[in-house]
A = this chain, B = another copy of it.
């Protein structure tokens, strides 16, 4: 018994049947004597439908009005879920983001939560109500509605858990938990019982798409224990916490990210300040750069290679070209037929052989490595996109024990 925050995404409430399913999970938790706060996203394709409605009217709607539009999506979900819970005979009340006390900054479209005035939430819990809160949204200092950006409902749930000192925050999704690799593609992929915040952050960034990064960061900051679990199957999920037991695995997961473009500037002068010039230009355009590789100087020139998200490719090339003369570079090469394969695991820093084991698996499958990047808890390689699935498979086999 305790206070449990449960979050359900758009696909978990996409129609009446799924809403009733969620109502079943929520009331079952409540019936066990827990206080329950439920955070929901907009139904299924609602957000996309609303974006389409906006696009029919304006090619460039203001971010403020987009937030006014999009926040209606969760409003519909919370009302419907509250009705479903009512129909099962439980006390319930729905609250919009602002009613639940979400105060954000004014960055429409991707606002940050500044604080949660949890008085109303506490009062409703005190009345033994199940509280259904609209995720993804808040109110800024001008009393205008804001959205927290994609994946924001996870953050809403964790923020409520932190504000109310909840005993657990459960994130319900389409999958049963966090796996060592994509279980649809890698037959040997295993569900993890536990994982650390840091490992989860690396996995999220690398494309595991289970939990939003901001929510994991916030959970880490406030020490909120997360559980990722399925809204379809009633089985235990994966617990995300500070220290996780290792389950005899060196790595937690193998991930593939194909949203990568590799850019190279060939033959720039081998003098100080070049890297600064290049990357400050990209930063000015708010382009996130991932792996960076600089060749050893030769003939007083060097090559600089880096990766960006595919969506930023053209903007990055434009930024480089506009300063081409100044950089005196000789050529810009762009390759989008690449994939980033990573192994993640907090244990690997104390196991020096991890990188070697990964490279060996690739070598044995005749897969060429284009770039390498490492951190304390992950090793990433850039390879040809055609080899990506095969690479995940062989690396997974090398690290995750078959049962």
A residues contacting B by CB (< 8 A) are 16, 19-20, 50, 53-54, 56-62, 64-66, 68-69, 71-73, 75-76, 78-80, 82-84, 86-87, 93-94, 96, 99, 120, 143-145
Residues A54 and B68 in contact, CB atoms below 8 Å apart: no
Cα A44 to Cα B116 in complex, Å, equals 36
Cα A59 to Cα B88 in complex, Å, equals 11
Cα A65 to Cα B56 in complex, Å, equals 30
Find the B residue at minimum CB distance from A43. B53
Q: How many copies does the complex hold?
A: 2
A230 to chain B, nearest CB (A): 22
Q: Which of B53, B59, B99, B120 contacts A76 (CB 8 A)?
A: B53
A/B interface sample: 30 pairs, CB < 8 A: A16-B57, A19-B57, A50-B76, A53-B76, A53-B80, A57-B80, A57-B83, A57-B84, A58-B84, A58-B86, A61-B87, A62-B83, A64-B93, A65-B79, A65-B82, A65-B86, A65-B94, A66-B79, A66-B83, A68-B75, A68-B78, A68-B82, A68-B94, A69-B75, A69-B76, A69-B79, A69-B80, A69-B83, A72-B76, A72-B79
Main secondary structure of the interface of A (DSSP, over half): helix
Residues B75 and A58 in contact, CB atoms below 8 Å apart: no
Contacts of A120 in B (CB 8 A): 143
Residues A58 and B83 in contact, CB atoms below 8 Å apart: yes
Which of A76, A79, A82 lies at the interface centre, i.e. has the most chain B CB atoms within 10 A of its CB?
A79
Contacts of A72 in B (CB 8 A): 72-73, 75-76, 79
A21 to chain B, nearest CB (A): 11
A199 to chain B, nearest CB (A): 39
Residues A86 and B68 in contact, CB atoms below 8 Å apart: no
Cα A357 to Cα B16 in complex, Å, equals 58
Q: Quick one: given A68-B75, A99-B143, are A80 and B54 in contact (CB under 8 Å)?
A: yes
Interface pairs A-B: 4 shortest CB-CB: A69-B79, A16-B56, A68-B79, A61-B83
Residues B76 and A62 in contact, CB atoms below 8 Å apart: no
Q: Which of B50, B57, B80, B145 contacts A87 (CB 8 A)?
A: B57
